[in-house]
């Protein structure tokens, strides 16, 4: 694997680099390790971008990770993880606003970078819909606005709710603030459906952004790095009057829930939204083929420098709504849309130093300290170097002039070294073989790109980062207790393990002696801690920071074990290890490597003691079970053979939409095998195991009941 592994066992979330070895040349062990790294890293960056409006890598770096993940999953479909980036969107809703559950998920978009990517996108759609080359397949092409995604709900033609995307399922309720935005209609013209959700992008014009920053600087207030951050920050004001004072704009680009259809095509729907009073991007256009899409992409790219707002690509959407419905979605993105991204921006600067940072699981991460340089209007001074292999591959040395790349308010990557400008006394960088924090040996396991401190939680850096992860937004999310407070309380010796957080109330008098802690702030902090004594089981599991266990996997484990007691018993050191491993692997999307990490975590006496101590402080909420509304909800389905009524991909999508789990292999846990024509070994195995086998017609009858 050619990228830096992280503190969740895969990739240090602040640094990343996709592997360079072609998937077809990799074995399952290497692919499993890299997919784990990609899952953890992309989850981190989703949170920084969508949840905190504070990204730490470039859009191009992020897109490269997503593309690498997609390529590996295509080559190794059996290794797709439950916490795969392809199965999620964005980040959880931020603290400070009420939460809104979206009636229909607000999805992210898959990305394309080359003409071939766009051609492949169209070809996949034709295969899914079983369309011939002569069948019409039209698309729309729209500029991809670099702003903040919003969902606006209208009932009886009047705005009743506005919400951010959040994690795609749940966002922030920003209704009060959005009522202050003149660009958002408060009531709709014409005769809109009784219920209508309009999705679009909130953004700030470049001129308004510059004026805002000038005003902020004059008043000694925060300077925004770019228009997107300014728009997000302006919307997320506790005082709606502040939002009203900022000039925010809105482009409508799609529909959510609607009690009646607006039109048969996406382009017609945009026209209808325009008639209702929404701004529709004037560069949106319908094209009948891929050549037309690529032509429009070039035209939008040429106009980009002169636009009054930031864009970072062009979005293509299948125009027909009935095709969109059939295509559906994967968990993270619709199958019927794709973002064609613009190339990243580059600049040249001096690499002054290389620092080594130690993460939660001991990963040693190199970070370049750069002579500050402006790239695309943003000053950057740090860059990820990913790992020692990356440094060696690019022959990066202190004192080198380097080309860096960015696309947004982010830490860039080092693209290449300008070797002709290298000083004569330049020396290769010597990557340390011991931990710079505690001095313990730092080893590099075979087959991994990461070097790790071997001192586990006895290493102060690892313990500190573990605690920071525990209180992070996706974990316990304790308001008022972030990285800075953890640093302070650890230094004071007040917190050594997570349970100590819940004993901070015993230090109320000592807290009052610290600078910045008055009676109100202390009461608020302790109240926030008390509120987290009741926690969802899956959040508790994720907060433990077990290698390879992301949010989705944590939920799988919570559903499987149902309670901490059952999990602790199954993973006890004196349990039957082989049986435990087999039980874990039987959980969909949990493989050998992840199972080994789970067993290893709970076998560690320090870890187990810390978890037991924590559980004594908590009331853990069991997970919500899947809906029973569908006859196949919660059932495990396997498809085999050739289906006549739809493609295999469409059949799988429909099953998953009804709450079923679709597996690629038959086991004793399979509920139904749906057998099309030419069913082979899977049908034989199903018969041997006594699994119910359904013909395609029987399957369609079952799900139609």
* Active site residue ranges: 144
For residue 504, the SS3 value is helix
Closest CA to 172 of 91, 113, 245: 91
Cα atoms found within 13 Å of the Cα of residue 526, Cβ hemisphere only:
16
Which residues neighbour 113 within 8 Å (Cβ) at sequence distance 6 or greater? 63, 67, 340, 341
Structure tokens at 531: 């509120």
Contact 387, 450 (CB under 8 A): yes
Which DSSP helix (H) or strand (E) runs through 101? strand 99-101
Contact 635, 692 (CB under 8 A): no
CA angle in degrees (0–180, nearest 5) for 578-610-484: 130
Which DSSP helix (H) or strand (E) runs through 151? strand 148-155
Contact 551, 557 (CB under 8 A): no
Structure tokens at 429: 């960088």
C-alpha to C-alpha distance for 97 and 170, rounded to whole angstroms: 12
Contact 684, 658 (CB under 8 A): no
C-alpha to C-alpha distance for 156 and 266, rounded to whole angstroms: 22
Contact 454, 443 (CB under 8 A): yes
C-alpha to C-alpha distance for 55 and 62, rounded to whole angstroms: 10
C-alpha to C-alpha distance for 485 and 454, rounded to whole angstroms: 26
For residue 595, the SS3 value is helix
C-alpha to C-alpha distance for 138 and 179, rounded to whole angstroms: 36
Structure tokens at 592: 């050998």
Closest CA to 74 of 63, 62, 84, 60: 84
C-alpha to C-alpha distance for 248 and 31, rounded to whole angstroms: 44
* Residue in the block written with tokens 């990243």: 344
Cα atoms found within 13 Å of the Cα of residue 245, Cβ hemisphere only:
10
Q: Enumerate the β-bridge partners of residue 337.
A: 317
What is the DSSP code (8-state) at residue 187?
B
C-alpha to C-alpha distance for 404 and 372, rounded to whole angstroms: 11
C-alpha to C-alpha distance for 370 and 399, rounded to whole angstroms: 10
C-alpha to C-alpha distance for 454 and 228, rounded to whole angstroms: 41
Contact 195, 154 (CB under 8 A): yes
Structure tokens at 573: 């050191």
């Amino acid at each position: 694997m050619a990228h830096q592994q992280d503190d969740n066992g895969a990739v240090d979330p602040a640094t990343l680099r996709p592997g360079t070895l072609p998937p077809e040349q990799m074995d399952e062990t290497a692919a499993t390790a890299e997919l784990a790294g990609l899952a953890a890293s992309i989850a981190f960056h989703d949170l920084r971008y969508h949840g905190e409006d504070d990204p730490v890598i470039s859009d191009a770096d992020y897109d490269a990770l997503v593309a690498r993940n997609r390529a590996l999953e295509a080559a190794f479909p059996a290794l797709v993880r439950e916490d795969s980036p392809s199965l999620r969107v964005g980040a959880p809703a931020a603290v400070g606003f009420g939460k809104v559950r979206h009636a229909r998920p607000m999805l992210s978009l898959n990305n394309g970078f080359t003409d071939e990517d766009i051609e492949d996108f169209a070809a996949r759609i034709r295969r899914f819909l079983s369309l011939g080359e002569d069948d019409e397949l039209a698309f729309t092409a729209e500029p991809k606005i670099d702003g903040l995604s919003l969902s606006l709900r209208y009932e009886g033609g009047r705005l009743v709710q506005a919400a951010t995307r959040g994690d795609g399922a749940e966002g922030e309720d920003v209704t009060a603030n959005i009522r202050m935005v003149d660009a958002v209609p408060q009531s709709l013209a014409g005769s809109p459906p009784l219920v209508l959700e309009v999705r679009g992008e909130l953004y700030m014009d470049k001129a308004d952004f510059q004026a805002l920053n000038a005003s902020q600087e004059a008043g000694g207030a925060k300077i925004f790095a770019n228009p997107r951050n300014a728009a997000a920050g302006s919307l997320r004001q506790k005082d709606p009057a502040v939002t009203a004072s900022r000039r925010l704009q809105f482009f409508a680009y799609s529909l959510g829930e609607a009690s009646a259809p607006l039109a048969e095509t996406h382009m017609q729907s945009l026209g209808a939204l325009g008639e209702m009073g929404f701004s529709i991007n004037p560069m949106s256009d319908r094209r009948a083929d891929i050549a037309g899409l690529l032509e429009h992409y070039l035209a939008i790219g040429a106009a980009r420098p002169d636009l009054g707002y930031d864009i970072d690509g062009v979005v293509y959407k299948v125009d027909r709504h009935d095709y969109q419905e059939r295509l559906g979605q994967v968990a993270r993105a619709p199958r019927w849309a794709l973002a064609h991204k613009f190339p990243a921006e580059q600049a040249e600067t001096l690499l002054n130093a290389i620092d080594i940072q130690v993460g939660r699981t001991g990963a040693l991460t190199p970070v370049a300290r750069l002579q500050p340089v402006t790239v695309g209007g943003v000053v950057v001074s740090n860059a990820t170097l990913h790992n020692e292999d990356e440094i060696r591959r690019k022959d990066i040395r202190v004192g080198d002039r380097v080309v860096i790349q960015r696309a947004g308010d982010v830490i860039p990557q080092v693209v290449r070294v300008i070797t002709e400008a290298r000083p004569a006394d330049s020396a290769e960088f010597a990557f340390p073989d011991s931990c710079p924090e505690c001095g313990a040996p730092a080893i590099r396991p075979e087959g991994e790109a990461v070097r790790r401190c071997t001192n586990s939680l006895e290493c102060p850096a690892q313990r500190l980062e573990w605690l920071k992860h525990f209180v992070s937004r996706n974990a316990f999310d304790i308001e008022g207790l972030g990285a800075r407070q953890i640093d302070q309380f650890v230094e004071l010796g007040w917190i050594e393990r997570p349970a100590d957080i819940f004993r901070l109330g015993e230090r109320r008098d000592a807290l009052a002696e610290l600078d910045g802690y008055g009676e109100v702030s202390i009461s608020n902090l302790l109240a926030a801690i008390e509120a987290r004594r009741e926690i969802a089981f899956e959040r508790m599991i994720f907060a433990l920071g077990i290698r390879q266990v992301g949010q989705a996997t944590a939920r799988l484990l919570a559903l499987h074990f149902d309670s901490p007691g059952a999990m602790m018993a199954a993973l006890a050191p004196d349990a039957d290890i082989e049986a435990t491993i087999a039980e874990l692997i039987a959980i969909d999307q949990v493989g050998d490597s992840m199972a080994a990490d789970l067993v290893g975590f709970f076998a560690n006496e320090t870890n187990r003691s810390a978890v037991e101590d924590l559980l004594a402080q908590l009331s853990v909420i069991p997970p919500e079970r899947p809906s029973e509304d569908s006859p196949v909800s919660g059932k495990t389905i396997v498809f085999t053979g050739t289906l006549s009524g739809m493609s295999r991909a469409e059949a799988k999508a429909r099953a998953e939409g009804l709450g079923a789990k679709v597996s690629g292999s038959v086991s004793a846990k399979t509920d139904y095998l749906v057998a099309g024509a030419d069913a082979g070994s899977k049908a034989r195995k199903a018969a041997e195991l006594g699994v119910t086998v359904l013909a395609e017609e029987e399957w369609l009858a079952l799900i139609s009941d």
